[in-house]
């Protein structure tokens, strides 16, 4: 019988593998449809990210951008609005790199492929018009039928839009006899993905009636930051750290996401969300999973996401006694949360949350993960701090050393991206006395600076179909399961708010959460000294 297998592909030589290793894969030709095209998210993050991809040559040459919104307008007026917003949101940052602020050639490559569709997102007529716009884009820009539908809309509309896309058959993929799509359709969903475990399950079930899991990209802009993506490289590419990355050597982990701003003009959104829903099931738990995951068998999406999901599955639900909530009051020139626009005068919504998580597996049993996130804190700071167990004190008992400080490994995510290691050295001079010093690595010192808004990598990953940095349905639901007891308890009780002043680092109960748990303490949230 003749061999029916296809001929073997010649193996790549070592030189060929080296030449292609690490090179970003080119994005497929595609059209991108933004629902909520006139909204703040589109102006402030999505379109500036597309502009930066155009500026760096990463945007596909065959690309079309279609804006969809209820607002009356034309393609020209939409272009002008976006260009003005680009100057506001990107121009000042770009001035560090380009005195002309905006690269008009890069903007032109994006702008010339734009079109605008006005209509009601709940009406089938809009989707018939959108089909025509996609067909036109395919003819004019050779998008090959590939399309991204980006839901930059209120979360209550996620299911509505996906339902209508499905009814119009705009999410259908044409597949060849081997089951590979001749063209693809993908949907990007912003957070919050649900407001509770039940609502997350219902939303997953609803959109999965129309889409397959590999068509859904649940986006979290935190994961677009280089330092966050570098956590795995730092752990698994360095033989020094992975052997001590466990309960035998690590005492505890602290994750801080502190902001100096209040809710600003987002009072209505925040009243329905709060700090816990806004930050913990998405941003914070994702950071924990990257710190705590086991080594994957490879850096493909399936392997990495499975290891992250294992972390979520090993995390017990947080008890109400392991969580602290706060709400900022007046402080300095800042007003109280309850005095913000669109906020109830007796609001029970938290603007700060601190929690204690545990992971019941062999690597992390007994190691607490403390997190805190809040608004109107002393400084803007996002960091992951790993505290190692102290060395034995016996050798220093006859010296002036009063106590040994633990070693800290700090992964700085924002605003200063880098990694620092604190350790003890002997002070110069007679006798034995110790001083804590740091070894610091800063991304800005080691690599060229490039303006970015954090969405560039994520949008490019959607275009190439790489879901590594996106949450699966089961991971979303596990996140809500973990915080469910706290959400339920807080919904049933009235808090004594406000309980921390603007510019402080949260309520005193957040400090007690650590001091009562082995006498630990939060790292200070400090303003970086002026250069």
Domain 225-451+473-515 has CATH 2.60.40.1120: no
Would the CA dihedral through 424, 247, 365, 350 be positive or negative? positive
Same topology, domains 27-221 and 225-451+473-515? Answer is no
Q: For residue 107, what is the enclosing H or E element? A: helix 104-111
For 79-97, write each residue's pLDDT tens digit. Answer: 999 999 888 766 545 444 4
Name which CATH class applies to 27-221. Answer: alpha beta
Residues 29, 109: Cα–Cα separation, whole Å: 14
Instruction: Count how many Cα atoms sit within 13 Å of the Cα of residue 424 in the half-sphere of its side chain.
Output: 15
Spatial CB neighbours of 282, under 8 Å, sequence gap ≥ 6: 191, 192, 193, 220, 222, 471, 479
pLDDT reported for residue 16? 37
- Secondary structure of 121-167 as H, E, C letters: CCCHHHHHHHHHHHHHHHHHHCCCCCEEEEECCCHHHHHHHHHHHHH
Mean pLDDT of successive 10-residue stretches along the chain, which has 531 residues: 41 38 73 96 93 92 96 94 83 48 88 95 96 96 96 94 97 82 92 92 97 94 80 89 94 96 90 95 93 91 94 98 97 92 96 98 97 96 93 61 78 90 79 77 83 87 93 95 98 96 95 95 76 40
Taking the C-alpha atoms of residue 38 and residue 80, their distance in angstroms, rounded to an integer, is 11
Look-up: residue for tokens 């601190």?
Answer: 354
The ranges assigned to domains in the chain are 27-221, 225-451+473-515
Query: What phi and psi, each to the nearest 5 degrees, are found at residue 35?
Result: -85, 125
* 283 counts as catalytic: yes
Euclidean distance between CA atoms 110 and 390, whole angstroms: 55
CA–CA separation, 256 vs 238, rounded Å? Answer: 25
Q: How far is CA 530 from the centre of its chain?
A: 28
Two tokens at 246? 């466990």
- Residue 473 and residue 207 in contact, taking contact as beta carbons nearer than 8 Å: no
d(CA 330, CA 328): 7
The distance from CA 54 to its chain's CA centroid, rounded to whole angstroms, is 22
For residue 530, report the phi and psi dihedrals to the nearest 5 degrees: -65, 145
User: Considering all CA atoms of the chain, what is the largest pairwise distance in Å, rounded to the nearest integer?
Assistant: 86
**Active-site annotation holder among 221, 252, 283, 376:** 283
Q: Give the integer Cα–Cα distance in Å for 443 and 454.
A: 15
Percent helix, strand, coil in the chain, to 5, is 40, 20, 45
Q: With pLDDT > 70 as the criterion, what percentage of the chain qualifies?
A: 89
**Do residues 382 and 223 make contact, with C-beta atoms less than 8 angstroms apart?**
no
Q: Which of 410, 355, 354 is nearest to 384 (CA)?
A: 410
């Amino acid at each position: 019988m003749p061999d029916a297998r296809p001929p073997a592909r010649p193996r790549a030589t070592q030189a060929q593998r080296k030449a292609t290793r690490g090179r970003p894969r080119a994005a497929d030709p595609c059209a991108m449809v933004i629902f909520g095209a006139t909204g703040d998210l589109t102006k402030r993050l999505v379109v500036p990210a597309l502009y930066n991809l155009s500026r760096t040559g990463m945007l596909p040459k065959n690309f079309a951008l279609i804006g969809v919104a209820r607002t009356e307008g034309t393609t020209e007026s939409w272009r002008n609005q976006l260009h003005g917003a680009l100057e506001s949101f990107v121009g000042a940052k770009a001035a560090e790199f380009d005195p002309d602020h905006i690269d008009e050639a890069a903007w032109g490559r994006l702008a010339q492929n734009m079109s605008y569709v006005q209509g009601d997102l709940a009406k089938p007529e809009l989707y018939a018009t959108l089909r025509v716009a996609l067909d036109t884009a395919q003819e004019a820009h050779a998008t090959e039928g590939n399309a991204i539908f980006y839901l930059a809309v209120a979360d209550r509309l996620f299911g509505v839009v996906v339902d209508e896309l499905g009814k119009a058959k705009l999410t259908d993929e044409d597949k060849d006899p081997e089951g590979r799509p001749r063209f693809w359709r993908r949907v990007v969903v912003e957070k919050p993905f649900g407001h509770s475990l039940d609502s997350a399950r219902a939303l997953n079930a609803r959109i999965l009636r129309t889409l397959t899991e590999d068509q859904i990209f649940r986006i979290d802009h935190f994961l677009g930051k280089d330092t966050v993506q570098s956590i795995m490289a730092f752990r698994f590419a360095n033989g020094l750290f992975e052997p001590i990355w466990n309960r035998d050597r690590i005492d505890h982990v602290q994750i801080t996401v502190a902001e100096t701003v209040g809710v600003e003009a987002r009072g209505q959104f925040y009243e329905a969300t709060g700090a816990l829903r806004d930050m913990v099931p998405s941003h914070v738990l994702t950071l924990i999973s990257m710190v705590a995951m086991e080594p994957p068998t490879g850096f493909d999406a399936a392997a990495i996401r499975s290891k992250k999901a294992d972390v979520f599955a090993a995390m017990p639900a947080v008890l109400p006694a392991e969580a602290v909530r706060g709400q900022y009051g007046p402080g300095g020139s800042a007003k109280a949360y309850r005095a913000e626009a669109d906020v109830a005068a007796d609001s029970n919504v938290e603007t700060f949350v601190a929690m204690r998580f545990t992971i019941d597996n062999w690597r992390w049993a007994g190691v607490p993960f403390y997190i805190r996130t809040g608004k109107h804190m002393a400084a803007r700071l996002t960091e992951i701090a790993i505290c190692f167990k102290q060395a034995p004190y016996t050798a220093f008992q006859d010296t002036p050393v009063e106590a040994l400080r633990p070693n800290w490994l700090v992964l700085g995510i924002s605003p200063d991206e880098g990694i620092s290691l604190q350790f003890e050295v002997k002070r110069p001079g007679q006798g034995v006395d110790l001083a804590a010093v740091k070894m610091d690595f800063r991304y800005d010192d080691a690599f060229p600076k490039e303006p970015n808004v954090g969405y560039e990598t994520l949008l490019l990953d959607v275009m190439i179909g790489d879901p590594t940095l996106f949450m699966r349905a089961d991971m979303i639901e596990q996140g809500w399961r973990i915080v469910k007891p706290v959400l339920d308890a807080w919904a049933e009780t009235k808090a004594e708010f406000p309980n921390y002043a603007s510019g402080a680092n949260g309520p005193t109960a957040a400090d007690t959460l650590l001091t009562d748990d082995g006498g630990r303490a939060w790292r200070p949230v400090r303003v970086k000294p002026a250069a």
